[in-house]
Amino acid sequence: MSQIQVLNLQSLDRGLPAITPAFGAAIAEAGAICLTEEAHKPGAALEVEGEFSTTFKLDWQPVTEQTRRCWNDEEYTTEQAAYGVAFLLILQLTNFTVIERSRKGTGFDYWLGSQDSTATLPFQRMARLEVSGIRKGNRSQINARVKQKTEQTRASDAQGLPAYIIVVEFSRPISIMSAKHNPEGTLLQ
């Protein structure tokens, strides 16, 4: 029997090509807040469904009172926390990494590129990532959000690049990871 892999939110403080260590640390804090406020403890299981079906253990740093005061806006905190979880899922389940923040109006949040440092163009835009967070929602709400975010990515479909849509719900916790294929029907991984 294989051991369940751990998604350590704190590892985001190392940064990614388009995520500074400071921003990574901040979204790790947001994730810790969402999970702690939903009565989870480090080691909680995150179920992943959709394009991938797996389970991860989540790990995070303890939440302090100062952290709670810093992240008092639930909607904003949930959105930032979802980015953190989504970035870790992309890193673990695909060959992509986050290479650039997208501009407003594109219909998605981040550009993805190859994790392979030997790739000819490792920072080439190869796929799109759209992320959404829900603090507490039922299955119908989660599925509706996946559909909404999938539709939202249509604004950039003409580029012909695949898109990942990741919705993270924190009360369960669960993540639905959907993949929208390019016109040729293939998904780069």
Q: What pLDDT was estimated at residue 125?
A: 84
Whether pTM exceeds 0.95: no
Residue with the two structure tokens 């490792």: 122
Per domain, the residue ranges of the chain are 5-180
Residue with the two structure tokens 């921003």: 23
Distance CA 74, CA 80 (A): 10
pLDDT per residue rounded down to tens, the chain (189 residues):
467 899 999 999 999 999 999 999 999 999 999 999 999 999 999 999 999 999 999 999 999 999 999 999 999 999 999 999 999 999 999 999 999 999 999 999 999 999 886 555 556 889 999 999 999 999 999 999 999 999 999 999 888 899 999 999 999 999 999 999 765 554 533
Q: What is the pLDDT of residues 82-94, one digit of tens each?
A: 999 999 999 999 9
Q: What is the pLDDT of residues 152-189, one digit of tens each?
A: 999 998 888 999 999 999 999 999 999 997 655 545 33
**Cβ atoms within 10 A of the Cβ of 1, count?**
3
HEC assignment per residue over 34-92: HHHHCCCCCCCEEEEEECCCEEEEEECCCCCHHHHHHCCCHHHHHHHHHHHHHHHHHHH
